[in-house]
A = this chain, B = another copy of it.
């Protein structure tokens, strides 16, 4: 950012060892996540999105904050869930890729095969989830296992929802990571709901971080709407894992302010509850503290907003008129060999 627009002097010491540039970058990803989802809502209303649209409204802080705690220069790795758009952007996914996915474009990362943010890139260090909840925990344990076997100082981070913690796959995966002392950080996003199911119908524990006790690993807990707190607790768990301390579990206490997906009218969520959490919006909070602390200037933040909007304008424009995948590509890449499947006989008639 042009230093001319920088505040005279920070009133408060910088938090969690973050620099002003980093704080501003986190704000950028926060805004980018929020704004990109808003664009997607418009496209969804115009029926340009194929399949459902999943919002992370109110949860952008923990997604961005936790992913930002990884060290990309060291090759850290993550596996996002449907509401971790922010984490993927931090890890290097581009708005254009996200838009292409949601619109099933030929140029989308999965070439129109998988929906929404179900995609990954080994280079940039993220693996897309599959729908079956919990399955990514064992898979990410395997990624962490490869780090340990090769003595690489890398860390893997996997997200899991309050609901997905009920799956057998979650249990098998976290226990495996714990007993093998793998560099895996498991982030539980306790947003109060699993589709229409409140957390108290999902489990009898009060704090989801208590589940760590069943695996002999540390359980941490943080305000999921405080991006800096999320960064700090995750950073600590990540460095602990990197230095051989093994796996850990973090619970972010947050709230899903939209329905499970756009089609869901969220009638089961108390209006007051939603309103209450709206007052606790992670973007507003971070914007406010950046200014009150003097870590950033209003001009800097406005510049970020403008940059975000410009980037999205460009991406949407570029994406919208792109073609859908060519049909013959559907038969490619089931196997390394054979590389292409034969069309069914009846198509040759």
Contacts and interface: CB of A to CB of B under 8 A. Distances in A.
A206 interface: yes
A323 interface: no
Interface on chain A toward B: helix, strand, loop, or mixed SS? Answer: helix
A169 B168 CA distance: 6
Interface stretch (A124-132, A209-217, A260-268, A333-341): A209-217
A201 interface: yes
Given A171-B171, A172-B167, A205 B201 contact: no
A166 interface: yes
B215 A213 contact: no
A178 interface: yes
Nearest to A178: B204
Nearest to A213: B213
Contacts of A205: 213-216
Contacts of A172: 166-168, 171
Nearest to A211: B214
Interface string A196-232: 0000111111100011011111000000000000000
A214 B216 contact: no
Contacts of A215: 203-205, 214
Given A213-B210, A213-B213, A214-B214, A178 B203 contact: yes
A181 B175 CA distance: 25
List the number of copies, as a whole number.
2
A14 interface: no
Interface residues of A, number: 26
A206 B213 CA distance: 10
Contacts of A167: 168, 171-172
Nearest to A205: B216
A201 B213 contact: no
Contacts of A203: 175, 178-179, 215-216
Nearest to A172: B168
A179 B201 contact: yes
Contacts of A202: 179
A175 B179 contact: no
Contacts of A210: 213-214, 216
Interface string A143-182: 0000000000000000000000011111110010011010
Contact of A214 (B168, B201, B213): B213
A200 B250 CA distance: 23
Interface in A263-318: none
A163 to B, nearest CB: 11
Nearest to A175: B166
A328 to B, nearest CB: 39
Contacts of A246: 204
Closest 6 CB pairs of A and B: A168-B168, A204-B216, A214-B214, A171-B171, A205-B216, A211-B214
11 contacts: A167-B168, A168-B171, A168-B172, A171-B171, A175-B203, A179-B200, A179-B201, A204-B246, A205-B213, A206-B216, A210-B213
